[in-house]
Structure 1
Amino acid sequence: MNKPVIVLVHGAFTDASSWAGVTRALQKDGYPVVATANPLRGLRHDARYLRSLLTSVPGSVVLVGHNYGGAVISEAATGLGGVIALVFVAALAPEEGESCADLDTRYGGPAMRITQPLPLPVPPGELPARDGPPHIELLIDPAQFDTMFAPDVDAETANGLAVSQRPVALAALTEKAGPPGWRTVPCYFAVAADDRMIPAWGQREMAARIGAVTVEVPAGHAAMLGRSEDIVRLIVTAAGAG
């Protein structure tokens, strides 16, 4: 029997390389893997981008999202055939009408306190919407990146991640979610017990709300780096159940 394709979606402040250890382990187990580049420009925009990518992926798919990537996989999966499971890794899973910023505020996350705003480049001839959010993108203060985002990796790796951050448009965090894919697709959730970005109690609440099969991982926010074997195990479980 053919194994499903595992599509890995990174979140804010990082890129697809954050899945390197998970990718290697899954490929060793014979799973086809796509670690996609999430644009981080806006929730609807990023979900459309992911849906477009999925049209070229044959067979069944397991979508895996970290951080803001959880919101993207849920938005993209709505009404899309072929997605057999959603896996949330220390991720956000908004309800319709909620934003990632809403969840950050509810759970006391630090994202809006430890980030630095930067002007968002505007294409020539295009003006930012007057009724939209401030036209900025965000980066985590590099001095706080290791302790807040990636406490489980060595200092050299954490520094490399800090200086190669992918900025996220503020609009991506403030845009309200549409009908969530987690309502109709089986869900799995890896709660990072030592997470300083999305407090573990908030992850547990979201996991319960979406009816996810849940595991607790003794890791900080970048659990796919600090405890890749636990994340791989959950993904394989989701792929087998589908």
Structure 2
Amino acid sequence: MRIRVRVARRVALAAGALTLLGATTAPAMATATDKGPSSAHASAKPTVVLVHGAWTDSSSWSSVLERLRADGYPVRAIANPLQGLTGDTAYVSSYLSTIEGPVVLVGHSYGGAVITNSAASDPNVKALVYIAGFIPAKGETVGALASQSTSDLHLEYTAVPDGTDVSIDPDYFRDVFAGDVNKTTAADLAATQRPANAKAVMDPSVQEAFRTIPSWSLITRQDHAIAPDLQRSMSQRAGAHTEEVDASHAVMISRPATVTHIIEDAARSTR
């Protein structure tokens, strides 16, 4: 995870809390309409907020975003800073505070830990959706959970001013992250991956939003980044509605229709 963060400075975070670096890809952000005084109330459907995890960026949601928008959902795909769970939670919480009306909050991979913590501070979040996601309990770290997986992630470490950045060796990226994505696309993903600061896996989780907010979880059976059995155990502990699919960790790219389906299931529950 070598973290290059593009933080939308609509809401100021504590000065110096995060080291801001350029994201490899501009975040794919879209809404049905620009947010105005009554726009949230004008839509009968909740806003879907998509939070990516490590080793990718918000463009990974593009195919899912297009499908949700075609089905009439306001959608935001935001840039997760990947600087550490504490700071990333603060950023997403601040972002959520700018959205009126009900929200379905979706997290992929490490993004699952972020939504678990950030949703607790926003009463507008009506459903949580974990896409091959971490669902930590209070006090757990993503690193401790990941250690329960048996896969070799082939990680590379780079010293940076704010700690250590971690990424996947590009030669192994497809096997670890995107086994069911074509070779050219997987190579592009490897070349543009957004590393994350080691604090992303070291900061302990402090909230368990899934205790009070209905949750859904899509388990990826061919995942070499987060073992399917670990996904199942976390989902069961959270009491999540679960679905399974034969897909890699990059399921939002390889199986966008399946990802869209479970998000819309969760969205319908908010009405």
TM-score (norm 2): 0.82
Q: Deviations over 1:186-240 (max 9, x none)?
A: 0000000111111111101111000000000110111111111011000000000
Aligned pairs for 1:31-70 (under 5 A) are 31-70=73-112
SS at match of 2:122: coil
Q: In the TM superposition, what is the alpha-carbon distance from 1:44 to its structure 2 partner?
A: 1.1
Say which of 170, 173, 178 aligns to 1:150. 178
**Aligned pair partner of 1:25 in 59, 63, 67:** 67
**Residues 109, 80 of structure 1: alpha-carbon distance in 2 compared, 3 angstrom cutoff:** farther
The AA in structure 1 aligned to 2:269 is: A
Distance in 2 separating the partners of 1:19 and 1:204 = 23
Q: Which digits, 9 at most, give the CA deviation of each residue in 1:27-82, with x for residues without a partner?
A: 00010100000000010100110011111111110000000000000010113210
Check conservation: 1:10, 1:67, Cα contact below 8 A: yes
1:211 to 239, 242, 251: 239
Give the one of 160, 164, 169 matched to 2:188: 160
Aligned with 1:157: secondary structure?
Answer: helix
- Given the alignment of the two structures, is residue 108 of structure 1 paired with residue 150 of structure 2, yes or no? yes
List per-residue Cα deviations over 1:162-209 (Å, max 9, x = no partner). 011111000111111002111111000000011111111110111100
Correspondence list, 1:1-242, <5 A: 2-111=44-153, 114-122=154-162, 135-242=163-270
TM-score (norm 1): 0.92
Are the counterparts in 2 of residues 87 and 235 from structure 1 also a CA contact under 8 Å?
Answer: yes
RMSD: 1.0
The answer as to whether partners of 2:96 and 2:122 remain within 8 angstroms in 1 is no
Q: Distance in 2 between matches of 1:215 and 1:140?
A: 27
Q: Secondary structure at the match of 2:54?
A: coil
Deviation at 1:5? 0.4
| Aligned equivalents of 1:46, 1:186: Cα separation in 2 | 22
Separation in 1, partners of 2:146, 2:199: 14
Cα distance in 1 between the residues matched to 2:211 and 2:52? 21
Aligned to 1:131: none
CA contact (8 A) 2:93 2:121 kept: no
Deviation at 1:109, TM superposition (A): 4.2
Aligned partners of 1:83, 1:108: CA distance in 2, in Å?
Answer: 33
Deviation at 1:110? 3.3
Amino acid at match of 2:253: L
* Identity between Structure 1 and Structure 2 (%): 41
Q: Alignment partner of 1:116: what SS?
A: strand
Contact kept in structure 1, 2:112 and 2:130, CA below 8 Å: yes
Amino acid at match of 2:73: Y
Paired residue for 2:17?
Answer: none
What amino acid does structure 2 have at the position aligned with 1:102?
A: A
Preserved contact between residue 104 and residue 110 of structure 1 (Cα < 8 Å): no
Where in structure 2 are there 5+ consecutive unaligned residues? Answer: 1-42
Q: Matches of 1:95 and 1:177 in 2, distance apart?
A: 7
2: distance between equivalents of 1:164 and 1:227?
A: 20
Task: Please list every run of 5 or more consecutive structure 1 residues that lacks an aligned counterpart in the other structure.
Answer: 123-134
Task: Please give the alpha-carbon distance, in whole angstroms, between the structure 2 residues aligned to 1:152 and 1:62.
Answer: 27
- Distance apart, 1:121 and its partner CA: 3.1
| Aligned residue number for residue 20 of structure 2 | none
SS in 2 for 1:176: coil
